[in-house]
Amino acid sequence: SQEMKEIIEAQKELDADYQELTSARQASGETGTPTSLKSIEDKQQLGKTEDPKSTHRVSKRAMKHSALSIESLVKIQADRQYASDVITVTMKKMEESGTFNSLTEANEREKTKKSNFHDFLSRSEEGKKEIKALEKQLQDVKKETEIELQKRDKMIAYLQDELEEMQAKVDMEICYMKKSTDLQVHQIQKKCSNAESVLDNKIQKLRSKTDEEIRVHTEIENFLRQHYKMVEEKLEHWVDKYENDTDAKDEELDALKALKANNFEMLQRFAEECQTFEETIISDRAEREARRRKLEQDALELKSILKLQAWWRGIMVRKNLGPYEALRKLWEKHLAQQKEGNKEKSGAKKKTR
């Protein structure tokens, strides 16, 4: 935002300079060109004493561009004056110290000014683009705001219609409730009159009952007073008995506490013994489980070994290997004998035929 403000202020300053130049151009009119040319000639006369070569170049440049506009001539005049001043300072430096550092410094200053001016122009372009983008965003926001306002106006109109409809309904309901309330009040008044007559009858009955209860209450009160005296005497007897029983029970409680302490010590001993037995049982079970697993593992290995031996024995029998090789020879000999016997039998049958 600060850069935008700086760019806008710089644009305003440029516009003001441009307006001043245009006003100066209009004021000078046709007389501007001879005046500038005259000033150029004066500068040329002044420069002849300083540097003939530089003044010759400047005079040639002025003669070539004499047909330019007033603004171009003003700029050329300013550039020429600046170049003349720089050359003058450089000549003085060369005469005094034999160096031309002022010329290089002036060149660096001009480069810096030029780069700053280009940076300013680039920032100005970016500022213009940002201003256009912000203006576009502002237009979009305005459009959205107008659309939102239209929607709200529609909603307000809809709510006003709803409010009017609700007010009509409320008025109808109020009228209905008023009539209903009047009817209920009339009914309640009628019920109240009936209830009053019933309550009057009940009051008469309750008065008669109250008189009777008062009489009964006096009789009960007399009875209770007599009974209270009897109970008070019994209470004194029971208080004495309570104190005696309490003392006896305190003695029994002390005896039970001592017995409890003895039993607690025995219980602790039994608990220690039980814990020892439990540890022994757990270790014995673990040993038994280990032996059982070892027996199962041995049985499984034995079963596998027997299966492997049976399989190998079957292979040896089928292949006639090892001790079963003689059996194979006997089997072959037996087959050969059978074949010879069959041949003899077939020969005998042929002879008999």
Residue pair 130/4 in contact (Cβ under 8 Å)? The answer is yes
C-alpha distances in Å from residue 327, one per residue of 71, 319, 330, 335 = 135, 11, 5, 12
Please report which confidence band the pLDDT of residue 186 belongs to, taking 50, 70 and 90 as the band edges. confident
- Which alpha helices (H) appear in 30-100, and where do they start and end? 32-48, 52-64, 70-96
Cα radius of gyration (the chain): 68
Rounded CA-CA distance 353/346 in Å is 11
Residue in the structure block whose two tokens are 């209920």: 184
pLDDT digits (tens, 9 = 90+) for 247-259: 988 988 999 999 9
Mean confidence (pLDDT) of the chain: 76
Cβ atoms of 47 and 81 within 8 Å: the answer is no
Domain assignments of the chain as residue spans, ordered by start: 2-143
pLDDT tens string 314-351:
887 777 776 666 666 777 777 777 777 776 666 555 55
What pLDDT, on a 0 to 100 scale, did the predictor assign at position 295?
92
